[in-house]
A and B are shown apart, each in its own frame.
Chain A
Amino acid sequence: MASLPPPSRKALAHRGSASGQAIFASLARAGSALLALATAATLGLLVLAVLRGPEVLPGLASLRYNPGTGELGLGGLALSTSASLLLGGLLATPLALFGALWLAELAPPSVQRPLLALLDGAVAVPSVVVGLWVAVVGGAALERLAGPGGSGLLSAALVVAAMSAPTIARVAYAVFTAVPDALREGAIALGATRWEAVRVAVLPVATRGLVGAVVLGLARALGETIAISMVVGGRPSAAPTLRGASGTLGSVLVDEYLDAFRASHLATLSAAALVLLALGAATHLGSRALVRGLTRRPA
């Protein structure tokens, strides 16, 4: 902390600081209270909607979902959600982790900063743009590959991969840079090559954080609703029977929430939202626990 500015004169004038402390404390408390209020309101809203249509609860685990005929089971949607997350994760994880490893450990120092800036840009790519691209370009290619209508799950997986890979790489990069240099130096001093140093000294320490990175990246894709809806939902070519197989818990929310007027339909959608909320909270809390203490900067 060599170049810190001296405290300003305003800071040193401490007249009336007792009331200042009180004002500061109540403002800060208000900030936390607002967050708590928003959480409570969201939960309350969803739970209330579920309670207004309790008759859907027994059939909620059923695999069939077709609001037109009153079949309101979320099981199939949950299955296709997990399948798209799994497939997308399998696509994204090796690329993202290996790319982050290269950037943090093996890349020439001169390219690290500009490439990191580009990676930050990739993290921020809007989901609507990803959805547009996968729907128009990827969808056409997949349709040719898998036949018409068979591309729903694959397109969803592609969206998941595209949405999660930059986030996984960004968090993984932060995990790699948090590994103490002494470990690498020790291995290199013993005659290891750069890659051997990474394999022997860095990876064992970083594993927990890397798992956290993958979980955090997939959590982002889990909350993704609109891009998946763009590629699988509301597409006129998708037959109604295939909808259940290719929509996800998130995409039905985008497609149907605004048009859901029946209490039972709204209750089902709210239940789907609650499931997503619980999964999102669990993954966030879990990955925090995994990454905690490893990264120096918030990623």
Chain B
Amino acid sequence: MTHTSGTRRARTDRLVSWAGALAFAGLLAPVLGLVLWSLLEALALGGFELRLFAALVGSLELCALALLFGLPTGLLAGLHVAELAGPRVARAVRMIADVLAGAPPLLFGVLVHSTVASFTGASSLLPSALALGLFIAPAMARATEELLSLVPEGLREAALGLGLAPWRVVLFVCLPSVRSSLGGVALALGARALGEAAPLLFTAGAVRGLGAAVFGDSPSLALGLYASMSSADPAEQGKAWAAAFVLLVTVVAASALGRSVGERRA
């Protein structure tokens, strides 16, 4: 815009650019500030200890198990809507997925707590993972369906023209062409599930401090954070801040990784 530089319009343009950059900075500043703040606070209160690592491992384990439940369910439902179901069934399943995606995640904990948890007994990992799986599945279903709708019709027709059975076209031609995007979605959902504590209140049994045994009462960093923060003891609060720091770094790293995986061309 050299020909307009110095005019009022060019000044407005520059002004809006700077203001926009400022707004974006304001959007990200809380996150970056939060990382730094929780690190400093945790260091000051001596919150970092070895048991934090155990809680992280427990959280990752829980997250992996939840993905194991949620991803296939969501993927299959998405495939069903995109490739097999008639328009009426597709609309119904889509609506169900939207209802589930819009539900407060806490309700999945309530559901598992009052159905499955009475069979699985005191073990907390399995019901917690089921609840988080329910949190993951609807989003995965919608993402799968939308990604499959982006696969070019020509690719599908070419594969069918080669004599492939329709299900092979879906599994070995369509899905592989969107696999990196699906991987990105899966990672992002894993990151969301890692930080979700509300359903675990109902499924993880008694809430204890951070770093109980991995298969014990409190396998989750997010839940441990919630338990520790309500304590007035500065040492417990230090643990809460340390957990917040570890959780933030893990979650942000996982979702950034998800973005880079999702953008790789298949």
Spell out A's residues near B (CB within 8 Å): 1, 3-5, 7-8, 10-12, 14, 17-18, 20-21, 23-25, 27-32, 34-36, 38-39, 41-42, 45-46, 94-96, 98-103, 106-107, 115-133, 135-137, 162, 165-166, 169, 193-196, 219, 222-226, 230, 234, 250, 253-254, 257-258, 273, 276-277, 279-285, 288, 296-298
Chain B interface size, as a band, is 35 or more
Q: Which of A11, A32, A165, A273 contacts B173 (CB 8 A)?
A: A11
What 16 new A-B contacts, CB under 8 Å, besides A5-B176, A121-B256, A280-B104? A1-B154, A3-B265, A23-B167, A42-B103, A46-B107, A98-B23, A115-B24, A128-B195, A129-B247, A166-B27, A194-B1, A219-B102, A226-B201, A226-B226, A284-B99, A297-B146
CB-CB under 8 A for A31 and B73, given A5-B176, A120-B259: yes
A35 touching B97, Cβ below 8 Å: yes
B165 touching A195, Cβ below 8 Å: no
CB-CB under 8 A for A120 and B255, given A31-B141, A296-B150: yes
A29 touching B164, Cβ below 8 Å: no
A14 touching B164, Cβ below 8 Å: yes
A29 touching B84, Cβ below 8 Å: yes
Which of B77, B188, B192 has the most CB atoms of chain A within a 10 A radius of its CB?
Answer: B77
A124 touching B84, Cβ below 8 Å: no
Q: With the chains together, A166 CA to B21 CA distance in Å?
A: 15
Main SS class of interface, B: helix
CB distance from B119 to the nearest CB of A (A): 14
Number of A-B contacts (CB under 8 A): 320
What would 10 A/B residue contacts be, using CB atoms closer than 8 Å? A1-B152, A1-B155, A96-B27, A99-B20, A99-B25, A106-B21, A121-B252, A126-B248, A226-B226, A250-B106
* Interface assignment of B74: CB less than 8 Å from any CB of chain A: yes
Q: With the chains together, A24 CA to B172 CA distance in Å?
A: 12
Spell out B's residues near A (CB within 8 Å): 1, 4, 9-10, 12-13, 16-17, 19-21, 23-28, 30-31, 34, 37-38, 72-81, 83-85, 89, 92-93, 95-108, 110-111, 114-115, 134, 137-138, 141-143, 146-147, 150, 152, 154-155, 159, 162-168, 170-173, 176-177, 181, 185, 188, 191-192, 194-198, 201-202, 222, 225-226, 229-230, 237, 240-241, 244, 247-248, 251-256, 258-260, 265-266
Name the CB-closest residue of B to A296: B150
CB-CB under 8 A for A125 and B167, given A31-B79, A132-B229: no
